[in-house]
Amino acid sequence: MIKTINHTLVGAALACAMTLAGQSATAEGYPDRTITIVVPYGAGGTTDVSARQIAQMAEAKLGTSIVVENRPGGSGTNAMRAVAEAAPDGYTLIASTSSPTFVTPALRPVGYDTLTDFIPLLNYSGPYHGVVVPGDSPLNSFDDLLATASGGKTLTYGTAGAMGGAHLAFAAMAGETGAALQHVPFEGSAAATAAVLGHHVDIALVPAYRDLVQDGQLKILAVLDGTRDPDFPDAPTLKDTGHDQEFPSIVGLFAPAGTDPAIVAKLSDTFTEVAASTEFKDFMTKLNQPVRLMSGEELAATIAENLETYRAVAAQMGLSK
């Protein structure tokens, strides 16, 4: 779903973002107090855990403490809106994902414009999302899932939030096939994972599944991404199963628009150095999360392209508001 984008337009959007939102703080003496990274989901999910790790590793390089604050709700849009309105001084950042940056904004008004209200610093991950069921589930393949949901039984599936990318991709697939699949939103992937483990939902669409699948607590039936998870090469993508949906995944750091360019450069350079380190890559491997590095400009291009894509998908599904 990621195509070529007009980089002139992206550059204009970035320039606009860097001049909006009033006077910025200057870079002189920055940072001289605690930096907060907001995570738009509950504690314990992969976005939260990876944000805490990259924050901890960046503290020594920046010479200040960095705290992570969880603000779940609204599929991540509540936190995005709060950070968009925060002072552009480099002390409030957000670690955000696909849903609140380009999926939900393509569906409804969210109170911010990702490309003009934020400055992308970098992208550092983009987890695979597995279609998983309990280890003792009678469903053993994606074909089993569709056959059951098309044969008179409604199956419930949990995600990290309503109208997020995982929800939209699966809802599009359900609409295409006529399968009876009922969405159950949670405040973060950790809660959705706990729900499927506890048999409170039949299926979950979550990123942190490797260890649970390997020890038999969960089974993976498919992945929502455009490519297969190398840890589970036999698990098909939705496209492999004949359905033209996927959920491109990002995890990036953003500052409010208007932040001083020198502060932006310092933050981008510091966090990119951390994300490229062997220590961070090893941590992410243990978390079953890939490191996917993109510059701020590359991240802006990805978001711009996918905003267009999801607007088209939403219009086709009659979901736009």
What are φ and ψ of residue 276, in 5° steps? -85, -5
Mean pLDDT score across all residues of the chain: 89
Q: Which residue has the higher pLDDT, 86 or 173?
A: 86
Instruction: Report the pLDDT value the prediction gives residue 15, as an integer from 0 to 100.
Output: 53
Instruction: Report the pLDDT value the prediction gives residue 215, as an integer from 0 to 100.
Output: 96
Fold held by 130-223:
D-Maltodextrin-Binding Protein; domain 2 (3.40.190)
Structure letter (DSSP) for residue 92: E
Instruction: Report the pLDDT value the prediction gives residue 321, as an integer from 0 to 100.
Output: 52
What are φ and ψ of residue 196, in 5° steps? -75, -35
pLDDT band, very low/low/confident/very high, at 320 (cuts 50, 70, 90): low
Contact indicator for 145, 139 with CB cutoff of 8 Å: yes
Q: Which residue has the higher pLDDT, 292 or 309?
A: 292
pLDDT digits (tens, 9 = 90+) for 80-117: 999 999 999 999 999 999 989 998 898 889 999 999 99
What are φ and ψ of residue 118, in 5° steps? -135, 155
pLDDT digits (tens, 9 = 90+) for 203-245: 999 988 999 999 999 999 999 988 899 889 999 998 899 887 7
Domains 7-127+249-317 and 130-223 share a fold: yes
Residue 123 structure tokens: 């992208």
Residue 165 structure tokens: 């990318």
pLDDT band, very low/low/confident/very high, at 265 (cuts 50, 70, 90): very high
Q: Which residue has the higher pLDDT, 310 or 133?
A: 133
Domain boundaries, the chain: 7-127+249-317, 130-223
Q: Which run of H or of E encompasses 296? A: helix 296-317
* For the ranges 19-28, 134-143, 302-311, the one whose mean pLDDT is highest: 134-143
* Residue labelled with tokens 């002072």: 87
Dist CA 241 CA 217 (whole Å) = 24
Contact indicator for 186, 158 with CB cutoff of 8 Å: yes
Instruction: Report the pLDDT value the prediction gives residue 156, as an integer from 0 to 100.
Output: 98
What are φ and ψ of residue 88, in 5° steps? -80, 65
What is the chain's Cα-based Rg?
19
**Beta strand 181-185 with 118-125: parallel, antiparallel or unpaired?**
unpaired
CATH class of the structural domain 7-127+249-317: alpha beta
- Strand runs labelled E in the chain: 35-39, 66-70, 92-97, 118-125, 130-134, 155-159, 181-185, 203-206, 218-223, 251-256, 291-295
pTM value? 0.74
Please tell me the number of Cα atoms within 13 Å of 103 on its side-chain side: 24
pLDDT band, very low/low/confident/very high, at 75 (cuts 50, 70, 90): confident
Dist CA 320 CA 108 (whole Å) = 6
pLDDT digits (tens, 9 = 90+) for 31-44: 999 999 999 998 99
As a whole number, mean pLDDT of residues 56-74 equals: 96
Dist CA 77 CA 10 (whole Å) = 22
Residues contacting residue 64 through CB under 8 Å, at least 6 positions apart: 31, 32, 33, 34, 35
Beta bridge partners of 95: 253
Q: Which amino acid is at 226?
A: G
As a whole number, mean pLDDT of residues 260-266 equals: 97
Percentage of residues in the chain having pLDDT higher than 90: 66
Instruction: Report the pLDDT value the prediction gives residue 223, as an integer from 0 to 100.
Output: 94
Q: Is the pLDDT of residue 159 over 60?
A: yes
